[in-house]
Amino acid sequence: MDEPQKKPLEPVYNRQPDGTFGPGNNANPPGAPPKAERFSEAAKRMLEAREVNIEYTFPKNGKIVTSKLHLESTTTINECLVAALIKEGINGNVQAISELVNRVEGKPRQAVDLGGQKDNPLSTMSTSELVDTASQLIAEIKQAEKNE
C-alpha cells in the first residue's frame, strides 16, 4: 500500500540563521491580545462613576437569571457607599462602624507575643551562642536517628 505523500514544508521567509525574524517582519503584527481589566481597576473605575448600567446573566438553581443594575447619582458610587456605611453605623451596625474607622484610621496595631521574652533564653543569646546551640541540637538529632 502506498502511503500518501507528505507535502514538503513551505519555506519560511525573512528568517535569520538563528531562526528569529529578520528586520521588518513581525510574526504578530497587531501584537498580543489586550489583557482583561483587573478586578481592582474595574472596581475603581465603576466606583468613581456617577452612572452605572450593568446587565448580567448567570445560572441559579438550574435557571438562567438576568439581573439589571442602574445607578445614577450626582455623587460618585464611592460617596454613595460611604454614605450608606455612615447611615448603617449611625443605626448601630458595629461592622459598618468598624469598616469606616479601619478605612479612615487604619486597622489598630496588634502586639505579637513571641512566647515571653523574659523567660526565653534565646533572647539573651548572642548569634554565635545560637549557632552553637543549633549545631548541638542537630548533632543530637542525627545521633538519635542513628540509634533507632
pLDDT at residue number 10: 59
57 neighbors 40 (Cβ within 8 angstroms)? no
The set of residues, in sequence order, having a beta carbon less than 8 Å from that of 51 and lying 6+ positions away, is 71, 72, 73
How far apart are alpha carbons 39 and 46 in whole angstroms?
A: 11
Q: Is the pLDDT of residue 132 over 80?
A: yes
How far apart are alpha carbons 96 and 85 in whole angstroms?
A: 5
pLDDT (tens digit per residue) in 46-78: 888 888 777 777 777 777 777 777 777 788 888
pLDDT (tens digit per residue) in 13-55: 667 778 777 666 666 666 667 777 888 888 888 888 888 777 7
By residue count, the chain amounts to 148
Q: Which of 70, 74, 97, 66 is nearest to 84 (CA)?
A: 97
How far apart are alpha carbons 48 and 36 in whole angstroms?
A: 19
Task: Kindly list the domain boundaries of the chain, sorted by start residue.
Answer: 45-105
C-alpha cell at 110: 496588634
pLDDT (tens digit per residue) in 71-120: 777 888 888 888 888 899 899 999 999 998 988 888 888 877 665 556 66
**DSSP assignments along the chain, one per residue:** -PPPPPPPPPPPTTB-TTS-B-TT--SSTT-SPPPPPPHHHHHHHHHT-SEEEEEEEEEETTEEEEEEEEEE-SS-HHHHHHHHHHHHHHTT-HHHHHHHHHHHH-PPP-----S-TTT-GGGG--HHHHHHHHHHHHHHHHHHHHH-
